[in-house]
Amino acid sequence: MNIENLIKDTFAAREDEAPDSDAVLAAARRRIDRRSSRSRPLAVAAGATVLTLGAVTAVVLNRPDPVTPPEMIATAANDSQAADPAPAGLKMPFSLGWLPPGTVAYRAQRINVGSSAAAPATPLYGGEYMLTVTAGAQVLEVDVQEFRMVSVAEAHFKSGPGRPTTIGGRRAVESSVSTGPGGYELYVEHPDGGSTYVNVSAAPGSTAPAQQLVDAGRRIAENVQFPGTTTVTPAFGLRELPGGMRVCAFNVQQDSVRVLGAAGAGTSYSLGTCAVQPTVHVNSAVVGQPPATPGQPVQGHQTRYSDENGYHRLWVLDALGDAPVVLAGRVPVADLYDIANRLVLPG
C-alpha cells in the first residue's frame, strides 16, 4: 500500500475538510516515518482525514471533570437549548496523568484506529494525543495513542529490535535505540486488548539526551489513566441525532492564543452507526469559497450546497463568526439539512 498516495487521495476526496493539505501531509509523513512498518498503514488509513487537529490548552486537557460520553452529547445539548446554547464537552477515551514540564500545545482526537483481526469490517475506535512540550530552547514531541489492533508481541520499531520491559506492572516492549529521528518508542498492554503506544522525541531543530526521552516516555506511560476523564471543548455541538446516528469520532482544534474557555477554532465530527464506517462528516475547518448555489436557511443562517454525483455538501454560512460549518456525505441532502438544524452553535 502506498501510504502517501492514500493520504493524497483522501484529501482530494475531502478537500473541504482539511485547511492545509500540504502541511498536514508533511506532518503525517514525518509521523509515519517514526512508526513501525506494521502499524503505519492501519494508523494512517484510519486517521488521514482527522489529522487537522490543533492546539488545546493544557488546563483543558487535564481537568478531571466527569462529562457526558460523545454519543450522548445531543441529549445534554438539547436540555440546555432553552438557555444560552453551549456545546457539551467531548470526552477522550483516556487521560494523561503526567507530562514533561514546559509549555504544552495539544492535538486531541477520538478516531477510527483500524480494526481487529477477528472483525476486520468493524471500525475500532481509540484516542490519540499529539503534543509539543517547550522548555527553554528544547522542544519535545509526544504522541500517545491507543493501538488496539497491535499487541505488545507484534510491536515493531524503526530503530531496530525492541526489548521487553514492565511498565506499572503491565507487559511492555520498548525501542532499544532512542537516539535516532524516531526517538523513544514504547508499547504497553492496553487494559481492553491491544496496546497503548508512547513516542517521545526531540522536535526538528531541537536536541534531547536519549535517557531524558526514555525517562519521559516511561513516566507518561505509567500515568496513562483508563477510562479517561479529560474533556475538550468543541467550537459547536450536536443535539439528538436522527435515525440511530451517533458521534463515532471527533477532533478538536483550539488556537493557542485564545483565552481559556473560548470556543475552539476547528471541530470535526464523524457520524454514523459506528458499527460500519461513518457516513456523514461535519466540519468547521473549511477552505475556499462555497458553491454559489443557495439552499434553504438553517437556524437563521444562509446556506450553499453542492452535489457531486450523489456526494452532497451543505455549507451553513457564518455559523462560527464569519466561518461556515460544512456537512458532507453520500446521503440525501435532506438528511444533511436535518442534521444542520440540530447543530448547537455558539450564542
pTM > 0.75: yes or no:
no
C-alpha span between 53 and 47 (Å, rounded): 11
- List helix spans (H) across the chain: 3-13, 21-34, 40-47, 58-61, 73-79, 210-222, 333-340
The tens-digit pLDDT sequence of the chain (347 residues) is: 333 343 334 434 444 444 444 444 444 444 434 443 333 222 222 222 222 223 333 323 433 333 333 333 333 333 334 344 568 788 999 999 999 999 988 777 887 777 777 777 788 888 999 888 999 999 999 999 998 888 999 888 877 778 999 999 999 999 988 877 789 999 999 999 999 999 999 999 999 999 999 999 999 999 999 998 998 888 899 999 998 899 999 988 754 323 223 344 578 999 999 988 899 999 986 667 788 899 999 999 999 999 999 999 999 999 998 889 999 999 999 999 999 999 999 87
Tell me which residue of 286, 244, 280, 281 sits closest to 21, measured CA to CA: 286
Tell me which residue of 235, 220, 159, 227 sits closest to 188, measured CA to CA: 220
As given in the structure block, the three cell numbers for residue 132 are: 509539543
Name residues whose C-beta falls within 8 Å of residue 136's C-beta, 6 or more positions apart in sequence: none
* Structural fold of domain 231-344: Phosphorylase Kinase; domain 1 (3.30.200)
